[in-house]
Amino acid sequence: MEEDVCYSTVTFNASDNEKHEVPQSKESVLYAEVKRKTTSEMPEKEVVIPISPSYRKATVCLGLLCFLLLSALTAISIFNYIHMSQYNTILVQFTKERAANQELLADKAALNNILDFISKQSTFLVNEYCQSTGNGVQCKPCPQNWIQNGSNCYYFHLQDDPSWRTWWNSEEFCQRFGAHLAIIDNMEEQEFINKHIKPYFDQYHGYWIGLHEKSEQPKIWVWTSGAKLEGGFWIDAPSQSDNNCVLSMVNNSTLNSWHAERCLMFNRWICKMTVLTWPNFLQAQMNHSNLSTF
């Protein structure tokens, strides 16, 4: 314990015998230290609070209750873990079955589309789509020697004469595959076509597309689908004449490549059709059968 220290100043005056030795202006100063005990140094008495029996019983009951609550919480956690594991297993199984069901629905839709496509053809050239390999039958979305671009297949006839055809004969060739002479819907498609054709013979020959002039008054330009022409990529504006079929010419300007010509002129041509999506289970069935022409 720290002690409180007080200081006091005590002044002593010199006696008569010493007055002549000590100047009157100086005084002798002594310091005395006085200590004082504080109340904090007094010993404290310990206070003992007796514990009653009822308090001890309450403590034991509270401890037992905590143990029971902890046991219940542990049991609930184990129960929840088991059921969550079972739930996750069921959820995974459900997800797999739903994915399989969706795949079956997609295969069914694809099969319906193919059957609808086949039903509209007088002959269906299976060998043009499907080939037997070491891994089974592989069916492609486009026939052999056709080029896929997005959801469509294109055939570019690039052979030399005498295989050139008139506009009508070119359309008949395309129809053998369930296709038509190319219908060009937008500039991107025109650019795609322009990249896959090349010049041949002379500047007057090009590639037949599915646009022709309908014999009406006044005459109108229509596609093989029957839709009327909107816009176009003409080299020069066509006039109403006997030149009532359209060629896509090889031109540096993609936006100016169409030319009207006599339909009886012999040229190369371009076919277009929608891709076929083959269901997986159909490929497995075809693996055990011979490919033939229907």
> Which CATH number fits the domain 142-274, given the four candidates 1.20.140.150, 3.10.100.10, 3.40.1500.10, 2.40.110.20?
3.10.100.10
**Partner residues linked to 212 by β-bridges:** 222, 245
pLDDT, tens only, 232-254: 899 887 776 666 899 999 887 87
182 pLDDT higher than 50: yes
Q: Work out the average pLDDT over 139-150.
A: 90
Structural domain spans, the chain: 4-40, 142-274
What distances in angstroms separate CA 216 from CA 198, 222, 227, 243, one per listed residue? 34, 11, 15, 14
Q: Work out the average pLDDT over 197-218.
A: 88
Q: Work out the average pLDDT over 98-111.
A: 78
Q: Work out the average pLDDT over 180-192.
A: 93
129 in Cβ contact with 138 (< 8 Å): no
Q: Work out the average pLDDT over 123-149.
A: 82
Rounded CA-CA distance 120/139 in Å is 20
Q: What is the DSSP letter of 151?
A: T
Chain-centroid distance of CA 294 in Å reads: 40
pLDDT, tens only, 63-72: 888 988 888 8
Q: Strands 245-248 and 152-156, how do they pair?
A: unpaired
Highest mean pLDDT among 15-29, 96-110, 213-227: 213-227
